[in-house]
């Protein structure tokens, strides 16, 4: 593979079904180019059941790849070839042996491009680990996975507990995450020594929650994922530890959601909620699919435990910050639904990424430039224009951490391209979620106190930690290059004229001192 050239790849999938007695199967993947030939991967297993393995292979224009399946005797049963790579499509090879029908195979080809996978230059090669098991349907949790209910829960509990001289904090949120309403109520009553039973506590709180469900917002990437799966005919279910009536109330306010789900199931419809696998097994039953063909997407540890207990593949999207290390049981942990790659699981890929950027629903924010941690210019060589966070904590909670880009306007200087990070900056381990924009222009002097307005129009990548400061700096400059190029595209360039950037702060109907506007 030429360094810096087009990175082309093939996904090679081998599926074998045993046909009676135990048989030693062997799958071999080979590839080459320019007259050369080399083995890419080899995998053996003795089984009388079905097994499936996938490998990712990268190559250059004109390179080729093939897969072969052999039995114990070494007799080749079938070889399927992609042929040559080209600069438009990658190929997916499926070699399937049907039970009891030696040599009866099928091959299907379709596009499986995935721009996030890393390859090494110089040789045709495969990913070190096989890709994940293929799935045919998706089961989603609701609260904290699709909907930003955590903010509403915190708001209600904070107001309620103040009546009793108590203060709600993040430690309380950790204790109730993923629990059924009754379990969460019992934990709060006990921890805060409230004069209620769990049922009495719920009776007091439920009307307060019901009044707020109409204001609940979808989490970043949720609408995109639901529309994508529905458009491609992928069956979906919602399985939540909430009661079914509450689930339906919350979904009612999300346009197009109710008709997108084939199954909606609540904890009150099973004998016990998560972390028991029962709710996911019941969802698979109602979908009329095997549990092993389901992908679960969850934000809580009880949900991950339930999904794995049901024998399903599980993607964790932790809703609480800095919790990734607790989710080792999940098959994959992602920062937000914006980072989900369905093709890793055999589902149709998104096709909305543009040169390493993802268009998002634009959002806007502004405030006076303040002094930050002092590490932008001094440590990283990247002069960021920090914004205060006190006035827009709600907005921060609604946005996934990661690297974004867009346009920035300084009230007395003009409009500039901008790339920015949102989050805790894992390398420096921030204690607060921050917004750190980098205006892509060389300024001769500081501009602390000047009004800064941002139009955030696209997403680049999730937050990540780095092995060294040099690696972090290199990635930041790569993000800059991506943003600078993307902001010349008409799709993004049009937002430079957004009235949110051009209007004077005094002309806005501001809700707080930091001029938050959405």
Which of 492, 459, 132, 64 has its CA nearest to residue 294? Answer: 132
Q: How far is CA 164 from CA 170, 218, 317, in A?
A: 18, 32, 34
Q: Which two tokens stand for residue 40?
A: 């890419």
Looking at the DSSP assignment, which residues form a beta bridge with residue 29?
41, 67
C-alpha count within 13 angstroms, C-beta hemisphere, residue 273: 22
**Active-site annotation holder among 66, 299, 313, 436:** 436
**Measured CA angle at 463 (ends 514, 374), to 5 deg:** 55
**Active-site annotation holder among 7, 60, 114, 141:** 141
CA 187 to chain centroid? 30
Which of 335, 311, 348 has its CA nearest to residue 139? Answer: 311
Note if 118 is an active site residue.
Answer: no
H/E/C letters for each residue in 61-103? CCCEEEEEEECCCCCEEEEEEEEECCCCCCEEEEEEECCCCCC
Note if 436 is an active site residue.
Answer: yes
**Active-site annotation holder among 7, 143, 331, 339:** 143
| 3-class DSSP assignment, residue 270 | coil
Q: Are 376 and 151 in contact (CB under 8 A)?
A: no
Backbone angles phi, psi at 184, to 5 degrees: -65, -40
Note if 141 is an active site residue.
Answer: yes
Backbone angles phi, psi at 31, to 5 degrees: -160, 170
Which parts of 276-343 fold into alpha helices (H)?
A: 278-287, 301-309
CA 310 to chain centroid? 22
Scan for tokens 């110089």, then name that residue: 122
Give the residue numbers annotated as catalytic, written as ranges.
Answer: 141, 143, 436
């Amino acid at each position: 593979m030429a360094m810096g050239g087009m990175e082309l790849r093939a996904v090679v999938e081998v599926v074998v079904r045993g046909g009676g007695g135990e048989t030693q199967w062997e799958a071999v993947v080979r590839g080459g180019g320019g007259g050369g030939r080399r083995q890419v991967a080899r995998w053996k297993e003795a089984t009388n059941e079905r097994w499936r393995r996938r490998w990712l292979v990268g190559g250059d224009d004109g390179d080729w790849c093939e897969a072969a399946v052999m039995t114990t005797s070494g007799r080749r049963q079938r070889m399927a070839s992609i042929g040559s790579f080209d600069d438009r499509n990658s190929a997916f090879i499926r070699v399937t042996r049907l039970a009891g029908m030696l040599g009866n195979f099928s091959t299907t080809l379709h596009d499986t491009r995935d721009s996030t996978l890393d390859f090494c230059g110089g040789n045709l090669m495969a990913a070190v680990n096989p890709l994940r098991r293929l799935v045919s349907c998706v089961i989603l949790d609701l609260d904290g996975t699709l909907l930003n209910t955590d903010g509403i829960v915190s708001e209600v509990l904070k107001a309620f507990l103040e009546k009793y001289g108590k203060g709600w904090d993040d430690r309380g949120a950790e204790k109730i995450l993923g629990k059924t309403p009754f379990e969460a109520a019992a934990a709060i009553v006990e921890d805060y020594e409230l004069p209620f039973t769990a049922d009495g506590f719920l009776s007091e709180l439920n009307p307060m929650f019901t009044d707020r469900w109409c204001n609940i917002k979808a989490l970043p990437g949720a609408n995109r994922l639901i529309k994508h799966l529905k458009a491609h005919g992928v069956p979906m279910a919602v399985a939540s530890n909430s009661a079914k009536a509450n689930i339906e109330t919350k979904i009612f306010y999300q346009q197009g959601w109710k008709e997108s789900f084939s199954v909606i199931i609540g904890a009150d419809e099973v004998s016990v909620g998560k972390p028991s696998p029962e709710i996911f097994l019941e969802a698979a039953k109602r979908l009329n699919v095997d549990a092993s063909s389901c992908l679960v997407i969850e934000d809580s540890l009880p949900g991950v435990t339930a999904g794995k207990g049901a024998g399903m593949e599980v993607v964790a999207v932790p809703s609480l910050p800095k919790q990734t290390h607790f989710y080792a049981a999940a098959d994959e942990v992602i920062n937000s639904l914006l980072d989900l790659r369905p093709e890793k699981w055999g589902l149709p890929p998104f096709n909305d990424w543009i040169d390493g950027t993802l268009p998002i629903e634009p959002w806007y924010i502004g405030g006076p430039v303040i002094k930050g941690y002092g590490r932008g210019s001094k440590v990283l060589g990247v002069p960021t224009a920090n914004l205060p966070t006190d006035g827009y904590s709600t907005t921060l909670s609604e946005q996934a951490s990661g690297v974004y880009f867009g346009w920035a306007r300084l009230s007395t200087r003009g409009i500039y391209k901008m790339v920015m990070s949102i989050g805790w900056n894992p390398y420096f381990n921030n204690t607060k979620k921050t917004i750190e924009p980098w205006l892509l222009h060389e300024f001769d002097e500081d501009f602390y106190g000047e009004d800064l307005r941002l139009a955030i129009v696209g997403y680049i990548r999730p937050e990540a930690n780095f092995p060294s400061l040099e690696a972090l700096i290199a990635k930041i400059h790569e993000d800059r290059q991506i943003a600078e190029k993307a902001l010349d595209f008409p799709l993004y360039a049009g937002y430079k004229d957004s009235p949110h950037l051009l209007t004077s702060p005094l002309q806005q109907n501001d809700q707080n001192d930091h001029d938050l506007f959405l």
